[in-house]
Amino acid sequence: MDTNIVDERLGPTDGKKIFRKMGTCSRTFFHLLNREFGYLKEREECAVDSLAGGIMQKGYQCGMLWGASMAVGAEAYRRINNLNQAQVVAIQATQNIMASFYKRENTINCREITHCDFSSNWSFAKYMFSGRFLHCFDLAQKWAPEAVQTAMKSLNETPPDNAREFLNCASQVIKRMGGTEEEMVMVAGFAGGLGLSGSGCGALSAAIWKKSLEWCKDNNKKTSFKNPQAKEVMTRFYQENDETILCSDISGERFSNISAHITYLKNGGCAKLIATLGDL
């Protein structure tokens, strides 16, 4: 199938409805793709609420992308027995999903889509009363079929057979936090600022999601939006990085491919940050 041609009949047609039910963009797309794959993950979906609004409403990568990336990671783990290969496929699928999203919106960043600074009550009120929030609902409706088709196509590609000694920042944080191999693959697409894009830190987002998951389980909550555990992760991260969130600024790198990211980590790149987040 030509990836430039999208048949909206071949995918979810209830993006708006699910968005209203789920409450956040990140959870909406984690749920929508999980549903298409046939495996819902209620607790994990609950935890991704905290990445809505571009990482705790900071305006970075759209929550729809974080949710979709986690879904393709979960499916990659189910389909591929080799842990390294599964992580590579998750990253590649995330890159394809991001390209699809960028083609539609000309940006991947929440603030550029919403025109809203969610930390400002005035800006949020303007976002609501101007009707700009409707654009997000329309986006969910229109992009959902394309997101699913892109994910399916990416996951059906033959996994690489040379994925040896594979490393990525997000999965390493989850491993250090005591996460499972499945959780490591679920966040693999976060690497290098989500799909190696250099945007908001993927290691940070992985830690926020993991702590939110623990909080949801411990407190039997149905949403992790603005949960205290996530706020603690963000506070510690800010202290470590002088409030710098962009991967490209933290690492001083623009990763051209997965091998470049692996080499950076092997040479000690972000080792202190990974340890700090992983020990939270």
pLDDT in tens, the chain (280 residues): 334 445 555 679 999 999 999 999 999 999 999 999 999 999 999 999 999 999 999 999 999 999 999 999 999 999 999 999 999 999 999 999 999 999 999 999 999 999 999 989 999 999 999 998 999 999 999 999 999 999 999 999 887 776 677 899 999 999 999 999 999 999 999 999 999 999 999 999 999 999 999 999 999 888 999 899 999 999 999 999 988 999 999 999 989 899 999 999 999 999 999 999 999 9
**DSSP 3-state assignment of 171?**
helix
258-266 vs 169-176: helix crossing angle, rounded to 10: 50
CB of 47 closer than 8 Å to CB of 212: yes
Q: Please state the domain extents for the chain.
A: 15-278
Cβ atoms within 10 Å, residue 269: 19
**Full-model pTM:** 0.94
| Four-residue CA torsion sign, 94, 173, 240, 26 | positive
The alpha carbon of 241 is separated from its chain's Cα centroid by a whole number of angstroms, namely 21
Beta bridge partners of 109: 61
CA distance 146 to 143: 5
Rounded to 5 degrees, φ, ψ at 45 are -70, -40
